[in-house]
Amino acid sequence: MRKPIIAGNWKMNKTPAEAAALVSELKPLVADAACDVVVCTPAVNFAAVSELIAGTNIALGSQNMHWEEKGAFTGELSASMLKASGVTYVILGHSERRQYFAETDETVNRKTLAAVKAGLIPIVCVGELKEQRLAGYTDALVTYQTLIALSGLTPEQVADVVIAYEPVWAIGTGLTATDEQANETIGVIRQAVRSVYGEAADKIRIQYGGSMNPKNAHGLMKQPEIDGGLIGGASLTAADFAKVVHFEKAPA
Ligand code: PGA
């Protein structure tokens, strides 16, 4: 049985004071969550957030990292820096990083290997553009992105990774993949993992992301292949994010 994982991706939002206010409000609302709960904040908030979540069921996540351990990489953060700041999860290869910051499948792979080596849990993002879906390339693309990202890991390591399937056309647009579309593509990703890593495919958790919110989370999470969500906009208010965390309750 895979434990569901709901992660908030705050993107470039929230100052330390705002982050502290959001997490303080969130803590009691998700204290009884049946799933893993993660907040991926901008790095300037790590100190404030890690202090507030100590001893709670909320884990801290980063939105990026560099693959090198240290050196002349101005503006970058290493896996060991994240680890020492209380970070447990790190989002890698988000489509916004691929689109605006020249992230490639190869750099995502390097980062994934470095994260695992440092004891961080990567949340590796894959997903197709609208034109790629319309042209029928979705399955081939997510298979390729997934297998390149994981290349070099052992099956045991792959079992602990999290993949986020995020159709790019559904991110921040209010358009969601249908429950069936999301389930089907996540099934394709799981099959790709199985083809190389065998039974690790039954353990690896694969989230859906893209305009997931309190209204659609229940239906998406009922799908057998969907193990969680990566939540952007709806993670910026405690009440909405808590409702997604409690996806088992039908929307009011
Ligand atoms: P969204 O973002 O929920 O605002 O669509 C999801 C993401 O980009 O991770």
pLDDT, one tens digit per residue, over 168-217 is 999 999 888 899 999 999 999 999 999 999 999 999 999 999 999 999 99
Point out the catalytic residue in the list 66, 94, 225, 246: 94
How far apart are the C-alpha atoms of 206 and 64, rounded to whole Å? 18
Ligand 1 pocket check for 211: Cβ under 6 Å: yes
Q: Give me the chain's average pLDDT, please.
A: 97
Which atom number of ligand 1 is nearest to the Cα of residue 91? 9
Q: How far is CA 11 from CA 102, 150, 170, 174, 188, in A?
A: 17, 24, 16, 17, 27
pTM of the full structure: 0.98
Examine the residue annotation and report whether 218 is marked as an active-site residue of this protein: no
Tokens of 96: 């916004």
Ligand 1 pocket check for 166: Cβ under 6 Å: yes
Ligand 1 pocket check for 93: Cβ under 6 Å: no
3-state DSSP assignment of residue 182 = helix
